[in-house]
């Protein structure tokens, strides 16, 4: 009787499943505490590690910016160093040479005078600034994406309109005399437009 009263015969002490019963304080069925990983970073209103984010799903678009800058560099080379025309009467003409040729000429087309005077440079500046700005995922800069795309592709198309420098020759003749500077300038504007269209990077 003394042994039974001392608890040696208590069947709960010999229960083989007792050690495997789940701990109600833990989420593991065997009572083991799950390993703790690094704390999850909280996303703020501008996204984790993204000071320019909008809704936590965009980051700075490095691809769009690089594309826009490549187009800008190509355009600067075209507007300053490459030949745009090669004619029998005037020889090879750079972008600046065409602008000088049109000064004071009565047969110069109005749009060509503007394009080779200031128009191309203004479109270059506006489109590249808008394209680079649109790479930042900021709500305040979303409109720049539209401005960059419209300005760059409009400039590329208007370059073909400006290719008729004077009315004394037909458009086809001027287009036939166009050289690498003109065509690469069109490519440069297209690159800037593509860079603006890419915009911020989705994450």
Name the pairing type of β-strands 91-94 and 58-59: unpaired
Q: Note the pLDDT of residue 44.
A: 44
Cα within 13 Å of Cα(57), Cβ side: 1
Please name the residue that has the structure tokens 């191309």: 120
Q: Does residue 41 fall inside a structural domain?
A: no
Q: Which domain holds residue 93?
A: 58-202
Q: Does residue 70 fall inside a structural domain?
A: yes
**113: nearest Cα among 122, 124, 105, 121:** 105
Rounded Cα distance between 23 and 105, Å, is: 95
194 burial type by CB count under 10 A (0-12 exposed, 13-18 middle, 19+ buried)? buried
Q: What percent of the chain has pLDDT over 70?
A: 72
Rounded Cα distance between 126 and 135, Å, is: 15
Cβ neighbours, 10 Å, residue 122: 14
Instruction: Dig out the tokens for 198 from the structure.
Output: 């890419």
How far does Cα 159 stand from its chain's mean position? 23
Total domain count for the chain? 1
Q: Does residue 24 fall inside a structural domain?
A: no
Rounded Cα distance between 8 and 11, Å, is: 8
Q: Note the pLDDT of residue 46.
A: 43
Q: Does residue 155 fall inside a structural domain?
A: yes
**68: nearest Cα among 187, 191, 164:** 191
Rounded Cα distance between 138 and 60, Å, is: 9
Q: Does residue 5 fall inside a structural domain?
A: no
pTM equals 0.69
More confident residue, 139 or 123: 123
Q: Does residue 38 fall inside a structural domain?
A: no
Q: Does residue 149 fall inside a structural domain?
A: yes
What pLDDT, in 10s, does the model give residues 27-62?
555 555 555 655 555 444 444 444 444 445 777 778
């Amino acid at each position: 009787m003394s042994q039974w009263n001392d608890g040696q015969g208590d069947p709960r002490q010999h229960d083989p499943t007792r050690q495997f019963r789940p701990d109600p304080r833990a989420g593991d069925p065997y009572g083991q505490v799950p390993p703790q990983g690094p704390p999850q970073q909280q996303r703020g209103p501008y996204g984790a590690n993204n000071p320019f984010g909008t809704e936590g799903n965009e980051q700075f678009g490095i691809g769009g910016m690089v594309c826009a800058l490549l187009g800008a560099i190509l355009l600067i080379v075209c507007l300053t160093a490459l030949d745009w025309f090669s004619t029998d009467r005037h020889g090879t003409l750079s972008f600046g040479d065409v602008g000088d040729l049109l000064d004071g000429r009565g047969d110069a087309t109005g749009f060509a005078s503007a394009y080779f005077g200031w128009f191309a440079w203004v479109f270059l500046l506006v489109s590249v600034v808008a394209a680079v700005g649109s790479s930042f995922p900021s709500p305040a800069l979303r409109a720049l994406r539209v401005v960059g795309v419209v300005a760059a592709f409009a400039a590329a198309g208007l370059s073909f309109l400006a290719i008729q420098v004077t009315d004394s020759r037909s458009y086809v003749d001027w287009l036939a005399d166009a050289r690498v500077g003109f065509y690469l300038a069109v490519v440069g504007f297209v690159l800037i437009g593509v860079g603006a269209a890419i915009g911020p990077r989705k994450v």
